[in-house]
Chain A
Amino acid sequence: MAEEIKVIVFGLAHEEYGIEVEKVRTIERMMPITRVPKTPAFIKGVINLRGVVLPVIDLRGRFNLPEAEETESSRIIIVAVNDLEVGFIVDSANDVIDIDADSIDSPPEVVGGIKAKYLRGVAKIGDSRLLIMLNLSEVLNKSEIIQLEEQEV
């Protein structure tokens, strides 16, 4: 029996994505966000998470997906990777499932326009459900952000 991993499932632009549960601190409803000047557009700003100020990233913006209005089902997923703690704005987050580690295939070249390096792989659940597993340390790669900033200037 292959290793099972627990995954938080969230929706973004009609796709389903997954993050390992141990990297997720909490899932929050949308809350007021304070804009931080001179940062890339996908950094929405900072929030007050019970006394801790945390940056919030719009995952759509990060993946160059079309922007969307926030809705009732929008959520902020707080993740912690390599002592970085950030929030991701996602369209919805509503499921925790167990998946077989073996069922994760390496990512195809193009998935919904997202660069392959952000992806750890694609998990196939059941017959028709595809779950895109994120490579969080790449998503939060800071050197890339610095490059982005320089391009904007």
Chain B
Amino acid sequence: MDMSDYLSMFIDESNDHLQALNENLLKLESAPEDISIVQVIFRSAHTLKGMSATMGFEDLASLTHEMENVLDLVRNNKLKMDNFIFDTLFKGLDALESMVQDIIGGGTGKADVTPIVANLQAIVKGDYNSAGASSSSTAAAGSNGDASSLDEFQSSILLQSIDAGLSVFHVVVTVREDCVLKAARAYMVFDFLERSGEIVKSTPSVQDIEQEKFDRSFTVFTIASISEEELRKGIESVSEIEGAAITKLDRESLQQLGAAAAQGAPAVSASPIAAQAEVNAARSQAAAAAAPAAPAAASAPAAAGGNVSRTIRVDIERLDALMNLFSELLIDRVRLEQLSSEIRRNDLTETVEHMTRVSSDLQNIVLKLRMVPVESVFNRFPRMIRDLAKTLDKKVDLIITGADTELDRTVIDEIGDPLVHLLRNSLDHGIEPIADRIAAGKSETGTVHLRAFHSGNHVFIEVEEDGRGINREKVKQIAIKNGVVTADEAKRLTENEINMLIFAPGFSTADKISDISGRGVGLDVVKSKISSLGGHVSIESKEGKGTKFSIQLPLTLSIISAMLVKLGTEKYAIPLSSIVETSIIRREQIRKIHGNRMIDYRGSLIPLISLSQVLDAKSFKEEEEQETEIVVIRKGDKTGAITVDEFIGQSEIVLKSLGKYLTNIEAISGATILGDGQVALIVDPNALIK
């Protein structure tokens, strides 16, 4: 069997599996309890291993094998995920990715992965903790000394709850001596407690309990919404639990416990490790509090995973061929419709009508085939941001919106790299280090928004961060120093033009600008890439507040909803996304201000733009009209009204470019082919409002 035939399939599928592994591992990191995610990860890894082995990529297969071993222990509850395991698995994934990249580049996919393999094997053997991973075990010993120490925060929560009339319990759960899966049982108890109330504190910490680092009993402070009896029943219904000693707490008994804690406090604070353990415990509690959502979500990823596999791969050229053939079919359809209306035979008319319906459904499907949600690109960023934030020692939340926005496949393939650069830039230069953020009075966690949305004939992708903003003075100085602009020119630049300087090629060498608080690395590449896609980039930045990169991309071959209008004999399409509303105005409602025609629209005067004038449409004279149809459009916060001859109706249209010969035609952003095979031009509303 000649394997090269299967190589492209292997590469595609490997990439899919790697992506899925990445995503699910990230998901798992935020919900480490969820074994169902581990199952999905395990399956992906297993398939990848099998594929690699079949294709003869032994290094790939053996690394995947080691990762699989770890995952196998996790899914069988024999191992609990921790930071070290996550990091090692992520490193493994990176190695796999670079191997696959090597294969794509024609290499053999060989790589030295001994350190990662050694780590993975250490995890399987269970002796990795000594290698300097999390110190929770030693830390836990410190805090175990005082079984029921509550910190100030926790006791104040409990006190407040008691004051508010809620029931607060001190629960000591003991598992049976012959209990086989202590951690699992404890998990079930926690699960129950979380469903019936809120756990304020557990001893030992949740993490330790998960790792079976407790003897036979553990203690929990919980604010429950149920009675003591129900609580006991619920806990004892978990098998292999010997019993639960439940004490309902009031102010007095709580204060006694608090006093005990105060005595224990010096001992605790004496050891910085123990203090760290408290923080860890508090964190894991926060995680535990978020956990109730997890079981519900658990079934979702599995279901989604099922959907993902139900796709097939099609060569994009075949899709193009399909599109073109389909357009021809459409023309014939219209011809048939005409013929049947001339011939007037019932069964012919019926058949043609049916064909019309079927083909318009078919049209929808065919046209949407090329459209892909940007999700497929956005998906790789959470992982990237996680790693970058770790390397830069910053705290960053990535918020993705509009991942379902659809873009043409060809654009999707190209847009990834520029976005990587912009996001890196936002993290590296935009978001300040934690200390600086606190000093600036901001929350220590920076936020990066990644948005995609449709507007007009464009898709916008924005990267916005709440960091320090661009220091324009410095950018100017560097630009002058690097010869990007002269000192004279620099004086005349507007704020926006200075912002754009960071896209200049002169800014791309890292060593020259490493001292600058502005930006620079590789941004010229971003600009040229976006321009090659027919889009453009803009920047908004406020010093101290943050920066927003906005990429505007044309929908080269995508489908939008549009309003079809007539100007005499000509038909035009206006993208629905720019339209606020349509209405009819009477001649006397048009006012003239400084020679400009305006109308009163909801209390404000907006300009009236004659579409036939803008487009030189000679077959329509609107001066003769008593009543005029208008389309109210919006560009940002500006509004205007376009006068047209007649509305045809709303329709889904396929955007086509006018080709390379006709470029930059004023007020026209493209063309579309109407149902009758005729070409209609698409009006660019953004060009109409100045």
CA distance A47 to B656 in the complex (A): 12
Query: Within 8 Å of chain A (Cβ to Cβ): is B667?
Result: yes
Q: How far is the CA of A54 from the CA of B155 in the complex (A)?
A: 76
Q: Which of A38, A45, A48, A85 contacts B659 (CB 8 A)?
A: A85
Q: How far is the CA of A85 from the CA of B656 in the complex (A)?
A: 14
Q: Is the CB of A84 within 8 A of B660?
A: yes
Count residues on chain B whose CB falls below 8 Å from chain A CBs: 29
In this assembly, does B128 line the interface, its C-beta being within 8 Å of a C-beta of chain A?
Answer: no
Give complex CA distance A51, B330 in Å: 9
The stretch of B131-139, B376-384, B675-683 in contact with A is B675-683
A43 to B662 CA separation, bound complex (whole angstroms): 9
Q: Which residue of B lies closest to A34 (CB)?
A: B679
Q: Which of B163-171, B319-327, B436-444 contacts A (4 or more CB under 8 A)?
A: B319-327
Contact, CB under 8 Å: A36 / B327: no
Question: B328 within 8 Å of A by Cβ?
Answer: yes
B617 x A37 contact (CB < 8 A):
yes
Given contacts A34-B680, A38-B616, A48-B677, whether A142 and B661 have CB atoms under 8 Å apart is: yes
Q: Is A83 an interface residue (CB 8 A)?
A: yes
Cα(A32)–Cα(B328), bound, Å = 15
A47 contacts B679, C-beta separation under 8 Å: yes
- Please state if A53 and B665 are interface contacts (CB–CB under 8 Å): no
CB contact list, A78-134 vs B, under 8 A:
83-86
Complex Cα distance A48/B661, Å?
15
Query: Cβ of B622 < 8 Å from any Cβ of A?
Result: no
Assembled-state Cα–Cα distance A43/B663 (Å) = 13
Cβ distance B24 to chain A, nearest Cβ, rounded Å = 40
Q: Tell me, rounded to whole Å, the shortest Cβ–Cβ distance linking B591 to chain A.
A: 27
Extra A-B contacts (5), CB below 8 Å, given A32-B679, A34-B671, A37-B666 = A38-B615, A46-B681, A51-B328, A54-B659, A85-B659
Q: How many residues of A contact B (CB 8 A)?
A: 24
From B331, B661, B666, B671, give the contact of A38 (CB < 8 A): B666
Contact call A46/B671, Cβ cutoff below 8 A: yes
User: Is B657 among interface residues, defined by CB-CB distance under 8 A?
Assistant: yes
B668 contacts A51, C-beta separation under 8 Å: no
Interface residues of A, Cβ cutoff 8 Å to B:
32, 34-39, 43, 45-48, 50-55, 83-86, 140, 142
B658 at the interface (CB under 8 A from A): yes
Report the minimum CB–CB distance from B659 to chain A (whole Å): 6
10 A-B pairs with least C-beta separation? A51-B327, A34-B679, A37-B615, A51-B324, A53-B656, A53-B671, A55-B661, A37-B616, A48-B673, A55-B662
What residues of A have a CB within 8 angstroms of the CB of B661 in the complex? 55, 84-86, 140, 142
**B570 interface hit (Cβ, 8 Å):** yes
Q: With the chains together, A35 CA to B616 CA distance in Å? A: 10
Residues of the A chain whose Cβ atoms lie less than 8 Å from the Cβ of B658:
36, 46, 53, 55
Query: Secondary structure of the A side of the interface?
Result: strand
Least CB distance from B301 to A in Å reads 40
Tell me which of B324, B660, B668 contacts A83 (CB under 8 A).
B660
18 A-B contact pairs sorted by A residue (CB < 8 Å): A34-B671, A34-B680, A34-B681, A35-B570, A36-B668, A37-B681, A38-B667, A45-B679, A50-B327, A51-B327, A52-B324, A53-B679, A55-B658, A55-B661, A55-B662, A83-B660, A84-B661, A85-B659
Query: Given A34-B570, A37-B616, A140-B661, do A51 and B679 touch, yes or no (CB 8 Å)?
Result: no
Instruction: Provide the residues of chain B in CB contact with A84, threshold 8 Å.
Output: 659-661
Residues of B within 8 A of A (CB): 323-324, 326-328, 331, 570, 614-617, 656-662, 665-668, 671, 673, 677-681
**Which residues in B have their C-beta under 8 angstroms from that of A53?**
656-659, 671, 673, 679
CA distance A53 to B617 in the complex (A): 20
Q: Given A34-B671, A55-B659, A50–B324 Cβ distance below 8 Å?
A: yes
Residue of B nearest to A45 (CB): B679
Instruction: Tell me the nearest residue of chain B to A33, going by C-beta.
Output: B679
Q: A65 vs B14: C-alpha distance in the bound complex, in angstroms?
A: 62
CB distance from A117 to the nearest CB of B (A): 19
Measured in the bound complex, the distance between the Cα atoms of B662 and A53 in whole Å is: 11
Within the complex, what minimum Cβ distance (angstroms) separates B171 from chain A? 71
- Distance from A146 Cβ to chain B, minimum over Cβ atoms (Å): 10
Residue of B nearest to A54 (CB): B659
| Measured CA separation A39–B326 after assembly (Å) | 30
B566 to chain A, nearest CB (A): 13
Complex alpha-carbon distance, A140 and B323, angstroms = 28
**How far in angstroms is the closest Cβ of chain A from B283?**
58
Residues in A whose Cβ lies below 8 Å from that of B662: 36, 39, 43, 46, 55
Chain A proximity of B647: nearest CB distance (Å) = 19
Which of A32, A36, A83, A140 is the one whose CB lies under 8 Å from B665? A36
| Closest Cβ neighbor of A85 among chain B residues | B659
* Chain B nearest Cβ from A62, distance in angstroms: 12
Nearest CB in chain A to that of B679: its residue: A34
Most buried by B among A38, A43, A45, A53: A53
Cα–Cα distance between A32 and B570 once the two chains are bound (Å): 12
